[in-house]
Amino acid sequence: MLILVLNCGSSSLRAAVVDHASGKRVARARVERIGEAGSEVAYDDDPAAKLVAKNHEEALAEVLPALIGRAGDAQLAGIGHRVVHGGERFTQPVRIDEDVERAIAELVPLAPLHNPANLAGIVAARRLLPALPHVAVFDTAFHGTLPPRARHYAVDAELAKKHGVRRYGFHGTSHAFVAARAAVHLDAPLSNLRLITCHLGNGASVCAIEYGRSVETSMGMTPLEGLVMGTRSGDLDVGAALHIGRAEGLDYDGLDTLLNKKSGLAGLSGAGNDLRDIEDRAAKGDERARLAIHVFCHRLRKYIGAYAAVLGGLDAIVFTGGIGQNSALVRHRVARNLQIFGAHLDEDANREARATAEKPVIRISTDTSRAHVLVVATDEEHAIAADTAKLVGGQDKVVSKRIPIAISARHIHLRQETVETLFGPGHKLTPLKDLSQPGQYACAEMLEVVGPKRSISGVRVLGPVRPVDQVEISRTDEFFLGVDAPVRDSGDVRGSPGIKLVGPHGSVTLEQGVICARRHIHMAPEDADHFGVSDGDVVEVAIDSEGRDLVFGDVLIRVSPKFCLEMHVDTDEANAAELKPKDEGALVATGALATPLRRVLR
Ligand code: ADP
């Protein structure tokens, strides 16, 4: 499928016709200085064409036909637009209609520098090519899975809600793309990997990806937070900003310019924002240039250490972006002292490594390194094309089947050995009532669950016995018991906390096994075909409940011939959403970033 990918900045525009599967560019154009007297447009085969464009629409009116002409007879299947901020609402790529256009406009206050230009491109391209499907792919979307603890700033909660003040994260398309590439290279499913991806370009951010989901990232409400960047300060004591503002008589706009445009590598080094120049100067003895590199690398190493603790382990660190893909010096400095996380750099491999489109993944860790260190070429245009193709391709499918919703109360799965410790030697679980999933039943047996703070008695055991012990609780139970349980797929207890179980015969203290179950849909392979999804996909589900407009994001698909179609949510979510027995849902989006990417990269 050929997709036109558009990325509009305030005075520039990049457009490319991209093959969604291979990522190959069929044609490309880049326009600079839109709105000025002599705008410039460069095509691959005509690098210095002339153009007069007062605005994005005029630029696109010239560039789009030229690109489509260069694509020859091949038909475009759709247009993918990069949009920086998707706010609370957009955690997946979405087909653009009037409503979506309006919503992107409403998000302008959150991204005043970026969203207006993205929107200008969307409006102009839809007017010029109205017959084609247009899709918005958001930089923030991949971080829609950030848990509340990572999403919130510790400020007045009502003010934060009123003004949309929370951490959104950016560079999501790139983090998802390089994570998918790393997983393919490591020949492991993303759902088995704990990754730290470092996107180091002019803007820079780092992301902790736990089994395929972004759980922490260094950029926050705006792209200013986190790492040292080309011209942005990254983390800074807000008190310091206030002090500079007062002392220098700067107003808010003045501070904005100082921290976004005149800080970072440029501010520290006094030698511009290009790391190549700074590295050269440092090598000639320039103290400020050296300090800039020291601060840049120290900040990143600090984040990697923190994120390894957030993830509770580390399978790979990925470097990407102009700096990550090219600077052996930065990678070498950042990787020092990461041996405690099992990451050992192969210095020879690091020195040589330059990730490119031709050689997109290079391993720079030693053969015995427990955690891999990879240099991976990012390709946001390819990622946007893949996401767009996924939505455009699914358009004709009639997805009609409704999904029954079941509310799961807290429960326990046990191994036979644990059953015998708790209920006595030779004890067999007593089936009480069949559950909707074939072969599963509630048992007569109940247990007391003892947490660090309180205990809950009468917790139902479900049968049959399983290979691992697992206690599934709600988020409210988590705080009642005083245990810190991760949101996980059932059966995945890696790194979860343990707990004490007390039965009539004896007690056990599990080393791990307490989870809050992630929202999921059980389905048989025929249902998966019907919905056009596969095991491990992540989707959105709209709920029909008395005419209320409610969508659950981040719903995991689980496919097995043993399953019947049913979505499971826990009691807290059901209460919050005021769900009632017999409520049903409908699949509304099937495009979680990493999933389709992984398929095309295979
Ligand atoms: P953007 O965020 O604008 O897309 P890029 O990902 O292209 O930025 O990264 C730009 C940065 O990469 C610049 O700071 C540039 O100096 C740096 N860079 C590119 N090549 C090298 C290199 N060989 N050595 C060090 N830094 C490099």
Task: Give the position, in ligand 1's atom list, of the atom nearest the Cα of 330.
Answer: 25
Residue with tokens 């580390």: 314
Average pLDDT for 368-396: 90
Of the candidates 263, 332, 362, 360, which has an alpha carbon nearest to the alpha carbon of residue 597?
360
d(CA 343, CA 313): 11
Question: Residue 548: pLDDT above 80?
Answer: no
Where on the phi/psi map is residue 422: left (φ > 0), alpha (ψ -120 to 50), or beta? Answer: alpha
Question: Residue 581: pLDDT above 80?
Answer: no
Active site residues: 139
CA of 117: how far to CAs of 83, 255, 482, in Å?
Answer: 9, 22, 47
Of the candidates 457, 432, 459, 458, which has an alpha carbon nearest to the alpha carbon of residue 443?
432
CATH superfamily placement of domain 2-138: ATPase, nucleotide binding domain (3.30.420.40)
CB-based contact 81:136 (threshold 8 Å): yes
Looking at 125-129, 163-167, 330-334, 595-599, which range is the least confident one? 595-599
pLDDT of residue 578: 83
Percent of the chain at pLDDT above 90?
74
Task: Give the position, in ligand 1's atom list, of the atom nearest the Cα of 275.
Answer: 16
Alpha-helical runs (H) found in 533-593: 571-576
Q: How far is the CA of 318 from the centre of ligand 1 (A)?
A: 16
- pLDDT bin (cut points 50, 70, 90) of residue 397 is very low
Predicted confidence (pLDDT) per residue in 128-183, tens digit:
999 999 999 999 999 999 999 999 999 999 999 999 999 999 999 999 999 999 99
End-to-end CA, the chain: 16
Task: Give the position, in ligand 1's atom list, of the atom nearest the Cα of 277.
Answer: 16
Of the candidates 254, 283, 12, 20, which has an alpha carbon nearest to the alpha carbon of residue 135?
20
d(CA 524, CA 562): 7
Question: Residue 596: pLDDT above 60?
Answer: no
Looking at 248-262, 439-453, 573-587, which range is the least confident one? 573-587
Phi, psi dihedral angles at 265 (to 5 degrees)? -60, -40
Of the candidates 140, 77, 129, which has an alpha carbon nearest to the alpha carbon of residue 390?
77
Q: How far is the CA of 320 from the centre of ligand 1 (A)?
A: 10
Structure tokens at 156: 């007045």
pLDDT of residue 595: 47
d(CA 327, CA 553): 38
pLDDT of residue 162: 94
Of the candidates 93, 13, 72, 41, which has an alpha carbon nearest to the alpha carbon of residue 385?
93
Q: How far is the CA of 573 from the centre of ligand 1 (A)?
A: 44
Compute CA 31 distance to the chain's CA centroid, rounded to the nearest angstrom. Answer: 29
Q: How far is the CA of 200 from the centre of ligand 1 (A)?
A: 8
Ligand 1: residue of 275, 330, 350, 352 to mutate (most ligand atoms within 8 A of CB) is 275
Of the candidates 131, 133, 135, 151, which has an alpha carbon nearest to the alpha carbon of residue 143?
151
DSSP, collapsed to helix, strand or coil, labels residue 314 as coil
**2-138 with 172-384: one CATH topology?**
yes
Note the CATH architecture for domain 519-601. Answer: Beta Barrel (2.40)
Compute CA 164 distance to the chain's CA centroid, rounded to the nearest angstrom. Answer: 19
Residue 435 contacts by C-beta under 8 Å, 6 or more apart in sequence?
Answer: 441, 442, 462
d(CA 351, CA 338): 18
H and E: helices and strands count for the chain: 20, 29
Domain range list for the chain: 2-138, 172-384, 412-517, 519-601
pLDDT of residue 396: 42
Ligand 1: residue of 200, 202, 260, 380 to mutate (most ligand atoms within 8 A of CB) is 202
DSSP, collapsed to helix, strand or coil, labels residue 579 as coil
d(CA 236, CA 232): 10
Question: Residue 199: pLDDT above 50?
Answer: yes
Amino acid identity of residue 280, one-letter, is: D
Burial class (CB in 10 A: 0-12, 13-18, 19+), 480: middle
Residue nearest to atom 12 of ligand 1 (CA): 322
Question: Residue 545: pLDDT above 70?
Answer: no
What mean pLDDT value characterizes the chain? 91
Looking at 49-53, 301-305, 427-431, 485-489, which range is the least confident one? 49-53
Ligand 1: residue of 326, 332, 334, 376 to mutate (most ligand atoms within 8 A of CB) is 326
DSSP string, 378-427: --HHHHHHHHHHHHHHTTT------EEEEEEPPEEE--HHHHHHHH-TT-
DSSP, collapsed to helix, strand or coil, labels residue 306 as helix
- pLDDT bin (cut points 50, 70, 90) of residue 34 is confident
Q: How far is the CA of 386 from the centre of ligand 1 (A)?
A: 25
Residue nearest to atom 27 of ligand 1 (CA): 323
Q: What angle do CA 255, 261, 267 make, to 5 degrees?
A: 95
Average pLDDT for 250-279: 96
pLDDT of residue 473: 95
Quick one: DSSP state of residue 64?
H
d(CA 93, CA 139): 10
Where on the phi/psi map is residue 201: left (φ > 0), alpha (ψ -120 to 50), or beta? Answer: beta
CA of 281: how far to CAs of 200, 227, 268, 276, 289, in Å?
Answer: 20, 22, 13, 9, 6
CATH of 172-384, one of 3.40.50.720, 3.30.1380.10, 3.30.420.40, 3.20.20.70: 3.30.420.40
Structure tokens at 413: 């799965």
Q: How far is the CA of 14 from the centre of ligand 1 (A)?
A: 18
Ligand 1: residue of 32, 323, 379 to mutate (most ligand atoms within 8 A of CB) is 323
Residue nearest to atom 4 of ligand 1 (CA): 201
Question: Residue 547: pLDDT above 60?
Answer: no
Of the candidates 384, 333, 420, 346, which has an alpha carbon nearest to the alpha carbon of residue 137?
384
Q: How far is the CA of 275 from the centre of ligand 1 (A)?
A: 7
Task: Determine the angle formed by the axes of helices 252-261 and 238-248, rounding to 10 degrees.
Answer: 120
d(CA 510, CA 503): 13
Instruction: To the nearest 10°, report the CA torsion of 86, 88, 90, 91.
Output: 110
Structure tokens at 257: 């310019």
Question: Residue 259: pLDDT above 70?
Answer: yes
Task: Give the position, in ligand 1's atom list, of the atom nearest the Cα of 202.
Answer: 2
Task: Give the position, in ligand 1's atom list, of the atom nearest the Cα of 324.
Answer: 12
- pLDDT bin (cut points 50, 70, 90) of residue 398 is very low
Predicted confidence (pLDDT) per residue in 215-248, tens digit:
999 999 999 999 999 999 999 999 999 999 999 9
Predicted confidence (pLDDT) per residue in 499-508, tens digit:
999 999 999 9
CA of 150: how far to CAs of 107, 147, 300, 402, 407, in Å?
Answer: 21, 6, 18, 34, 27
Q: How far is the CA of 326 from the centre of ligand 1 (A)?
A: 7
Ligand 1: residue of 32, 327, 332, 375 to mutate (most ligand atoms within 8 A of CB) is 327
Amino acid identity of residue 12, one-letter, is: S
Q: How far is the CA of 273 from the centre of ligand 1 (A)?
A: 9
Task: Give the position, in ligand 1's atom list, of the atom nearest the Cα of 279.
Answer: 25
> In sequence order, what are the beta bridge partners of 362?
375
Longest distance between any two alpha carbons in the chain, whole Å? 87
Task: Give the position, in ligand 1's atom list, of the atom nearest the Cα of 321.
Answer: 6
Question: Residue 591: pLDDT above 60?
Answer: no
d(CA 500, CA 515): 14
Sign, CA torsion 339/342/343/349: positive
Task: Give the position, in ligand 1's atom list, of the atom nearest the Cα of 265.
Answer: 14
Question: Residue 376: pLDDT above 70?
Answer: yes
DSSP string, 93-108: -EE--HHHHHHHHHTG
Q: How far is the CA of 354 from the centre of ligand 1 (A)?
A: 12
pLDDT of residue 51: 79
Residue nearest to atom 8 of ligand 1 (CA): 201
As for ligand 1, residues whose beta carbon falls within 6 Å of it are 201-203, 230, 274-276, 279, 321-323, 326-327
Of the candidates 207, 257, 251, which has an alpha carbon nearest to the alpha carbon of residue 232?
257
Question: Residue 402: pLDDT above 70?
Answer: yes
